[in-house]
């Protein structure tokens, strides 16, 4: 089964915050878990894709770049997006189909926006998805804490399905590149 790790909006200013935005919840754990899964992907020869949001830091400079503590491989494919949906106008879907990808492992920011949208869009487009439970984050909203938002999305997206394809939620420490979807079908 062909797989791809997709790291969404793990950008310097989004994770660390800036004068306009608060830092994401549990940022050190997030960075550590992204690096852990990147290492696992590299050991298994699994391609890695980064998606960056053009709204972060005006789409340029250090704040726009992937966080400086994330070990971005030099051969990782990078897509820039102008929408919440990582698949909209980016070429990501075409790239994944050209690679004959069947399973996506998704991590990054922000939980209730780009991560939620990516998981749902991926299943609609014929991919099984593993969302890393402790590999996505966000900041507090006006009505919920970041921790509540993350926990809610982990519960909601575990088992989210579109008939043939669905998402499961697993921890970064698990063998996430050994998909467990068939045990749920």
DSSP assignment of 22-33, as one string?
PPPTTHHHHHHH
User: What pLDDT is stored for residue 168 in this prediction?
Assistant: 97
Q: Which domain holds residue 43?
A: 3-103+121-174
- Total domain count, the chain: 1
User: In the chain, what are the helix, strand and coil shares in percent, each to the nearest 5?
Assistant: 35, 25, 40
Burial (CB count <10 Å: 0-12, 13-18, 19+), residue 137: buried
145 domain residue, yes or no: yes
What is the crossing angle of helices 146-157 and 116-124, to 10°?
10
49-63 CB burial, b ≥16 within 10 A, e <16 = bbbbbeebbeeeeeb
182 domain residue, yes or no: no
148 domain residue, yes or no: yes
179 domain residue, yes or no: no
161 domain residue, yes or no: yes
pLDDT in tens, the chain (185 residues): 999 999 999 999 999 999 888 999 999 999 999 999 999 999 999 999 999 999 999 999 999 999 999 999 999 999 999 999 999 999 999 999 999 999 999 999 999 999 999 999 999 999 999 999 999 999 999 999 999 999 999 999 999 988 889 999 999 999 999 999 988 77
pTM as predicted:
0.98
113 domain residue, yes or no: no
93 domain residue, yes or no: yes
Asked if residues 49 and 55 have their Cβ atoms less than 8 Å apart, the reply is: no
116 domain residue, yes or no: no
Q: Is 128 left (phi over 0), alpha (psi -120 to 50) or beta?
A: beta
Cis peptide before 181 (omega within 30 of 0): no
The CATH number linked to 13 is 3.40.50.850
The residues that bridge with 169 in the sheet, in sequence order, are 131
Measured distance CA(100)–CA(30) in Å, rounded: 29
């Amino acid at each position: 089964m062909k797989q791809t790790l997709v790291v969404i909006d793990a950008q310097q200013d989004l994770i660390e915050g800036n004068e306009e935005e608060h830092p994401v919840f549990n940022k050190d754990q997030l960075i550590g878990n992204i690096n852990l899964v990147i290492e696992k992907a590299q050991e298994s020869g699994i391609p890695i894709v980064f998606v960056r949001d053009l709204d972060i830091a005006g789409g340029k400079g250090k704040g726009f770049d992937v966080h400086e503590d994330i070990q971005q491989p030099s051969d990782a494919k990078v897509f820039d997006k102008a929408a919440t949906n990582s698949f909209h106008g980016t070429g990501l879907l075409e790239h994944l189909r050209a690679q004959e990808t069947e399973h996506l492992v998704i991590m990054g920011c922000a939980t209730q926006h780009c991560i939620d949208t990516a998981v749902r869009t991926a299943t609609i487009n014929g991919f099984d998805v593993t969302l890393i439970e402790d590999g996505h984050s966000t900041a507090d909203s006006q009505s919920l804490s970041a921790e509540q938002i993350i926990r809610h999305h982990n519960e909601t997206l575990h088992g989210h399905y579109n008939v043939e394809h669905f998402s499961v939620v697993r921890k970064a420490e698990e063998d996430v590149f050994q998909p467990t979807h068939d045990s749920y079908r």
